[in-house]
Structure 1
C-alpha cells in the first residue's frame, strides 16, 4: 500500500470511529415506537449516520446508559421524562410543551413543529393575496408569547394579527362570532389543548359557512377541513433533530427553539371552494399533498 492510499484509509477509519462514538454518545426516547414517532426517529437515525439505541416510553421508563451525552426525545411523553440535567436534551414533536432550559445544566433544544411567522405569513399571503386581517387562536400556556412574536412579524408585512386565547371549547363559538367582519382568515398552531374533534368541527363549520379560510399547522387538520396547512413534516423534525445533535457535539451555540426552514404544504380543494379561495399555481406546485 502506498503512502497516499494508507493516509486515505487511515482518515476513513478515523471518520468511522468518530461516527461510532457520536452514535454511542446519543440515545433516543420515543413516546411510542410506532406511527409518526417512528417515522421521525427513522429520519433522525438516517441523518445522524449511525444506529441509535432507543427506548419506548409507552412501555418502559428509559434508563439512560453511562457515557450518554445527548438524549433526543420524540413526543411530549418522551420529552417530559426525568433525565439527568447534565445531559444535552433535544426534543421534538411536542407542540405546546416547553421545558425550562435555565433549570438544566445541559443544553435544552426544542425543534418546533410550527413554522416561524417570518416564513408562515408570506406563504399565507401567497395563498390569499387579499389577506389583511389574521386571527390566531391558542390555548396551551407555551403559546403565551404569540401576541408579541406574531404581531411583530405581521406588522413587518402590513398584516394585522389578532391573537385570541381560548379558555374552553364552550367559549369558541362566541369568539368566532366576534371575528365576523373583522377577520379575513383564521390560523391554528399545533396546540393539543385547543384542537379536539369538537373544536375542529366548530371551526370548520364557521369557516365553510362564512367563507373565511381556516389555516393550520398540520396535514391532519387540512385533511379534516382546513383550507391549507403549512408546517413541519415528521421526517423534517427528525432531520432537524439530527442537525441539532451534530451542532451540539461540535460546540456550536444554538437557540432554545429551532424553527426549520423546510415547510410542508397541504391543500384541501373542497375547503378552498367553500371559502371562495383559489390557490395560485405556484402554491399548487409547492404542495406536498392536495386533498380533493
Structure 2
C-alpha cells in the first residue's frame, strides 16, 4: 500500500479524471439536447422555390432549425426524425410522402405539395395559391361584365379546392359552372362544352390536367371563344392568360413560420393561412379578348405584360 501522499496524489488524479469525465458527459448531454427537439426542414430537392420557402420559414420560426435535402444517405431522414424534432416542415411531394410514411410524433407542416390530403390527412398544408376570395375579386374587377365562370376539375384530386372556388365565386356575385372530369383525356372536351355557357374560365390547379400542351389549348380556346382565362401564375399570364394571382414563396415560408410558432406554443388547432399574392395582367390578351381593363386593375398589378 502506498503512503498517504501517494493515495492523495492518486485521489487527486482520480478526482481530476472524474471531473473531466463529468464534463464530457455534460457536453454530450447538451449535444443530445440540441439534436433532440428543434425544428426539421426536409426538402424534396435543392431547387429555388424550396430554398425561398425554407429561408423565410427559418427566419420566421425563431427556433434552431436543421435542414435536410433528400437524396443523400439512405437512412438520413429516419436518423433525423429519430432525434425527435418538435416540428417538421416538408417541402415538396416527395418530402411530404417520405416524412408521413415514417409517422413522426411531431406536427408536420408541408408546402409546395399539390394534394397533401392524398398523402396523409394529418399533414398541415401551407396553401400554394392565393385565396379563392382574392382570385374571384380580381376576376370581377378585371372583367366586370362576367357573370358565369367555368371550373373543370378531377374530383379525386381537387374537389375541396373546386368547392372553395365555387363558394368564392358566389360571394363575389359570380355563378360557378362546374364540370367534373375523370382525367386528362376528358379535359379538352369539358372545356369545349363550357364555351357559350360561361363568360370566363377559372383554372383549378391540378398537375394531372394542366401541362404545357393543355395550357396552350386553353389559351387558344380563350382567344377563339373570347373567354377570359383566370390562371394562377405569372408565367401563365405571360403565355396568354388574362390575369393571375400568384402566391409568393417567401410569404408561404412566413405563413408556415407563423403557424409553427403557434403549434410550438401549444395551439394544436393552428392552421396556415393563404399567402399574400401579386396580380399579373396581360394587356395584349385583353385586346384580343375585347376586354377593356380598368385603370385600377392595371395600377394594382405587379406586372403588366404588353
TM-score normalized with structure 1 length: 0.82
CA change 1:261–1:29 in 2 (3 A) is closer
Question: Offset of 1:21 from its aligned partner?
Answer: 7.5
The superposition leaves residues 62-116 of structure 1 with CA deviations (integer Å, 9 ceiling, x where unpaired) of 23241311110111111111233411100011123325765x5xxx311111233
User: Which residue in the other structure is 2:22 paired with?
Assistant: none
Question: Offset of 1:286 from its aligned partner?
Answer: 2.2
**Which 10-residue stretch deviates more, 46-55 or 30-39?**
46-55
User: Which residue in the other structure is 1:84 paired with?
Assistant: 103
Aligned pair partner of 2:276 in 262, 265, 276: 262
Listed as ranges, the gaps of 5+ residues in structure 2 are 1-32
Aligned length: 268
Where in structure 2 are the equivalents of 1:4-153 lying within 5 Å? 25-49=38-62, 52-59=65-72, 62-63=77-78, 64-65=80-81, 66-81=83-98, 82-98=101-117, 104=122, 108-139=123-154, 141-146=156-161, 148-153=163-168
The superposition leaves residues 222-253 of structure 1 with CA deviations (integer Å, 9 ceiling, x where unpaired) of 22221111131111111111111111111224
Instruction: Report the Cα distance in structure 1 between the residues aligned to 2:283 and 2:138, rounded to whole angstroms.
Output: 17
RMSD value over aligned CA atoms?
A: 2.6
Instruction: Report the Cα distance in structure 1 between the residues aligned to 2:62 and 2:292, rounded to whole angstroms.
Output: 42
- Which runs of structure 1 show a deviation greater than 4 angstroms over 4 or more consecutive aligned residues? 20-24, 58-61, 99-102
Instruction: Report the Cα distance in structure 2 between the residues aligned to 1:148 and 1:69, rounded to whole angstroms.
Output: 33
CA change 1:67–1:85 in 2 (3 A) is closer
Residues 1:167 and 2:182 aligned together: yes
Higher helix share: 2
User: Which residue in the other structure is 2:252 paired with?
Assistant: 237
Residues 1:212 and 2:227 aligned together: yes
Listed as ranges, the gaps of 5+ residues in structure 1 are 1-19
TM-score normalized with structure 2 length: 0.78
Given that 1:23 and 1:50 are in contact with CA atoms closer than 8 Å, whether structure 2 keeps it comes out as no
